[in-house]
Each structure stands twice: as structure tokens, then as C-alpha cells.
Structure 1
Amino acid sequence: MAHISTQPTAGFSILRPLTAIGHGLMAWMERVAVANSRLEEIRHLQSLSDAELAERGIERERIVYHVFADRIGI
């Protein structure tokens, strides 16, 4: 008795490398967008006066730490 399988093999797929490239590109674009938004936040905070920063509870020399606190665990 012969058996015939109609299921595709789990081996090579032309779409797999293209999908990986697409995912990599999207991840890179997301990192760029996040970096740009953080840079804008740093620039905005640096433009504030010391009194305005104090109202927010931020010291001028700690602006970068404040913006990246979630990334560096502070």
C-alpha cells in the first residue's frame, strides 16, 4: 500500500528569509523611533529653566538618567 502526503515539508521556504528580513527592518525602525523620541525629550528638558526642572523633580545633570531610567534600571 502506498501513502501520499499533501502536507508541505518543514524544510526550505522562500518566504522565511524574507519574513526574517522584514521583522529585522521593523525592529530597527522601532529602535530608531524610540531613540528619536527620547532625544526630543532630552532636548525639551534641557530647554527648561532650573526652576521648571525642580518643579518636575529633576536635576539638570540627571536629565539623561531620568529619560532612560526604564532602560538602565534607575
Structure 2
Amino acid sequence: MQNVANIAILTPSLRARLDLFFATLGQGVNAYAVRRKRLGELARLDAMSDAELLKLGITRDRIPHYVFRDLFSV
């Protein structure tokens, strides 16, 4: 299980993108609970270079969409 201290591994830029992602989903989503389970993957992808992300077929601004693609269709 992820520790609450792991929130510190998210960069301010990634936290801002996550906030925007969940804001577009509207009410009815417990963003904290959903995000907490995927902190490791979010941080791992955010640490990659733009070239590495492109090899996965995503751009940096689409990391949240990629990580939560199985839960939300955005």
C-alpha cells in the first residue's frame, strides 16, 4: 500500500495536471483515493524524458489520462 508520504514524489507540475484532470471529471469522484493507488506509476512516468514518453505513445500533459485510462474515458 502506498504511504501518504509518497505524495511528496509528485512534482508540482504533475500535481497541477492531476488537479486539472480530476476537475474535468466533475463531482462524484474521490480523487484522493483514486490517485493515491497510482502514485508510483504517475511518478515513474513523470520522471521519464519526453522522448521516452513518446515511445509509449503519450505526451507529458497526458500522463494522468494514460494512468487512469481504465477508469475514466476522457
TM-score, normalised on structure 1? 0.49
Which is greater in Rg?
Answer: 1
Which one has the bigger helix percentage? 1
